[in-house]
Amino acid sequence: MYDILIKNGLIVDGSGKPAFYGDLAVKDGKIAKIAPSIQESADEVMDASGLQVAPGFIDNHSHSDSSVFTGSDSYNYLEQGVTTQVAGQCGSSPAPYSETELADAKAKLDPEEFACWAAKAQTPTTFMKAAEEQTFGTNMAFFIGQGSLREKALGYSDAAPTKEQMDIMQKDLIEAMEAGYLGVSSGLVYAPSVYASTEELIELVKVMKPYGGIYASHIRGEGDNVLRSVQEAIRIGEEGGAPVLISHLKVMGKHNEGTSQKLLKEIDDANARGTTVWADQYPYTASSAPLSSQIPPKYLVGGIPVLLERLKNPEIRQQILYSIFHEVNEFESAIYSAGFDGTLIVGASKTPEYVNKTIGQIAREEGKEPIDALCDVLLANDASMQGVYFNQCASDLLRIMAHPRVFLGSDWSDYPDSKVDYEQAGGGHPRGTASTVRRLELVRDFRLRTLEDSVKNLTYDTAQAMGIPEHGLLKEGWDANVCVFDYDRLHATADFAHPYRQSQGIHYVLVNGKLAVRDGKALGVRAGKVLKRK
Ligand SMILES: [Zn+2]
């Protein structure tokens, strides 16, 4: 007697071998049997006639770290077939906290919440333990953020670390590797991660070598500076002895169209000479990041309160405007490549009337210069805002997507469990809802790779690259993470005006043997667990 039996599906097992028709049985959280026909009974039998049965998809770039404090249904991921998220990206992780973060949390949270947060976010070890005690809809794996390590050791200083400060960062990184993190991530456009030099990063990643830890990086520039930024990431891995994962690989700036050919050649050349390099990507031509992070980081030295003071000063506003558009070599703002009319506000909790409008639109409506509209909305929201930047070309997106060493990374996070309105206008990026479905759909329609290769890339290849053991295949004895979908009918309906619309074509999702999605709808089941580097 099995728990679940999936019958008559086309089994695409993640290995890349030809798909075949058969049945798949699940018992006690594991895949118990895969065979052309299974006759034994099961508590629940699902007919997958006309559907594909694959391993659950891996989102290699998520920001769902704070789910460790709250728990999460992860429904927006489950409903796109994702059964594993890899969080802690772009240089930022909750642990270890800095003195400033501790003081902020103490001021903001009630005493009980604060005590709970502080106990969990104190060190990589306490965070990993908290994650293992928490419940999630999907499995979770973690990187530790280099920005967080640096903030603890140096605060928001742009100085080079002293020997003692480097020791603190290295010790915390070793602790993270011992605790089962996959590696360290940097976010070299975000303060304080951005203040690290190439040499500092090499020195830091060196300590991961005995663990095989990965250096993941949101690189220093993704447009005019993208080639040298990819080269920097590869050099850090090469000299620091770490495999490299380039985060959300893209080419910003429509005038840079075609540069992806050079980037992929850099990646191929590095692999040919023995430095392991991968990348991840979300399948959209608009990026998204906090609006404050598009202000050149020299204006963020000292932290957000100091930035807010600077934004009030008309002369500094003009300097910021000049810097965004003329000091691109120093810092590449997404506003430079998107323009004010391509900069859409998607998160502004204190001024919701601005959500779903561009900075250019707000400026015209209020009779202001765009730079003043930008600074005023930042001030009105204490700089806590999210933007979307329309700044890339589809040709580069597809070329990057077709590369075998590029995985899927949504670069988004779990939605709150009180479900949002699927038809809500604005307020997000479709990548949080539909990244895997859109990737599969584009790969299918542009014939970038076969179904078997497409599934392998989204599952086993990603798990192998990240060092997650026994994961990403439909294999007897392995955890039953399964996605049943209709390949021909997969369709991402979410767009920038309706970023929450549900995708079509995902039928069932199993997480560790538990049915988590039925007929495309998440059931609120939290069967995920923490996956650690072997
Ligand atoms: Zn990033």
Ligand 1 centroid vs 484 CA: distance in angstroms?
30
User: CA 28 → CA 22, 38, 272, 366, 514, distances in Å?
Assistant: 20, 17, 43, 61, 9
Tens of pLDDT, residue by residue over 56-98, are 999 999 999 999 999 999 999 999 999 999 999 999 999 999 9
Distance 493 CA to ligand 1 centre (A): 24
What's the gap in Å between 516 CA and the centre of ligand 1?
A: 29
Find the 87 Cα to ligand 1 centroid distance in Å: 11
User: Which two three-digit tokens encode residue 409?
Assistant: 């990374």
In the DSSP assignment, the letter for residue 73 is -
User: How much distance in Å is there from the Cα of 1 to the middle of ligand 1?
Assistant: 46
Decide if pLDDT at 493 tops 70: yes
Alpha carbon of 61 to ligand 1 centroid (Å): 9
Ordered by start, the domain boundaries in the chain are: 291-390
460 contact partners, CB below 8 Å, separation of at least 6: 14, 15, 16, 55, 471, 472, 473
Distance 247 CA to ligand 1 centre (A): 6
Confidence of residue 366 (pLDDT cuts 50, 70, 90): very high
3-state secondary structure at position 499 = coil
Reported as a single tens digit per residue, the pLDDT across 97-106 is 999 999 999 9
Among residues 307, 304, 491, 284, which one has the least CA distance to residue 388? 284
Distance from residue 283's CA to the centre of ligand 1 (Å): 14
| pLDDT above 70: residue 40 | yes
At residue 279, the pLDDT reads 98
Measure 189 CA to ligand 1 centroid, in angstroms: 8
Distance 90 CA to ligand 1 centre (A): 4
Rounded to whole angstroms, the Cα distance separating 242 from 214 reads 6
CA dihedral sign, ordered 72, 73, 75, 80: positive
Ligand 1 center–CA 151 separation, angstroms: 17
Distances (CA, A) of 365 to 339, 354, 373, 386: 17, 11, 10, 20
Cβ distance 36 to 51 under 8 Å? no
What's the whole-number mean pLDDT along residues 264-272? 98
Task: Supply the Cα-derived Rg of the chain in whole angstroms.
Answer: 23
Q: How close is the Cα of 105 to the center of ligand 1, in Å?
A: 24
Ligand 1 center to 241 CA (angstroms)? 22
Q: Is the pLDDT of residue 419 over 80?
A: no
Residue 6's beta-bridge partner residues? 24, 46
> Helix or strand or coil: residue 206?
helix
Say how many Å lie between the CA of residue 332 and the centre of ligand 1.
Answer: 13
What residues have their beta carbon closer than 5 A to ion ligand 1?
Answer: 90, 218
Dist. CA 159 → ligand 1 center (Å)? 23
Task: Give per-residue pLDDT as tens, 156-178.
Answer: 899 999 999 999 999 999 999 99
Ligand 1 mean position, distance from CA 188 (Å): 9
Q: Does residue 302 surpass a pLDDT of 90?
A: no
Q: Read off the pLDDT of each residue in 496-514 and give the average, rounded to a whole number.
A: 96
Portion of the chain with pLDDT greater than 90, in percent: 96
Residue 398 Cα to ligand 1 midpoint, Å, equals 19
Contact of 392 with 42, CB cutoff 8 Å: no
The per-residue pLDDT for 421 is 84
Residues 233-238 have a mean pLDDT of 98
For position 426, what pLDDT does the model report? 86
Write phi, then psi, for 300 (nearest 5 degrees). -105, 0
What pLDDT is stored for residue 252 in this prediction? 97
Does residue 420 surpass a pLDDT of 80?
A: no
pLDDT for residue 273: 96
Q: Is the pLDDT of residue 424 over 90?
A: no
* pLDDT at residue 418 in the model: 67
Dig out the tokens for 342 from the structure: 């391509």
- Expressed in angstroms and rounded, the spacing between residue 353 Cα and the centre of ligand 1 is 27
**What's the Cα-to-Cα distance from 533 to each of 89, 142, 183, 233, rounded to whole Å?**
16, 9, 9, 22
Q: What's the residue count for the chain?
A: 534
Distance between Cα 409 and ligand 1 center (Å): 10
The rounded distance, in Å, linking the Cα atoms of 45 and 104 is 51
Rounded distance from Cα 71 to ligand 1 centre (Å)? 23
Lowest mean pLDDT among 88-92, 338-342, 423-427, 517-521: 423-427
Cα of 268 to ligand 1 centre, how many Å? 22
